[in-house]
Amino acid sequence: LEGTVPPLAAPAPRSQQRVLSQLANCSSEELLLHLRDFKAHHWDRCVAIHWHPVLNRFDDILADHGREPPQAEGSSSELVCEVLRVIHEVL
């Protein structure tokens, strides 16, 4: 399903596609920097399927943070707080 858009859904604007790709693929350190500046209310509306890879990554970060000890690098409390803030803004 990842990366597929339903036929009736409009594609996300190119600028949003680039940002979503960055959020899904950058390092944890870069992700934290991107999320600190992220403001969802500046975005045009897009279909939730466009967020699928990013939300999967956020899910992995949150799941790892709940483990004792966290297994992935970069699963800091600050990153988790930013992930939760962005999820709240987007949803």
pLDDT in tens, 47-86: 677 888 999 999 999 998 888 776 666 668 899 999 999 9
pLDDT digits over 1-23, tens only?
455 655 556 777 787 889 899 99
Q: What is the pLDDT of residue 6?
A: 58
Global model pTM greater than 0.85: no
Q: What is the pLDDT of residue 9?
A: 66
The set of long-range contacts for 42-45, using a CB threshold of 8 Å and a minimum separation of 24, is: 43/16, 44/13, 44/16
Are the beta carbons of 83 and 34 closer than 8 angstroms? no
| Res. 46 pLDDT band, cuts 50 70 90 | low
Residue in this structure with the two tokens 């988790």, named with its chain if needed: 80
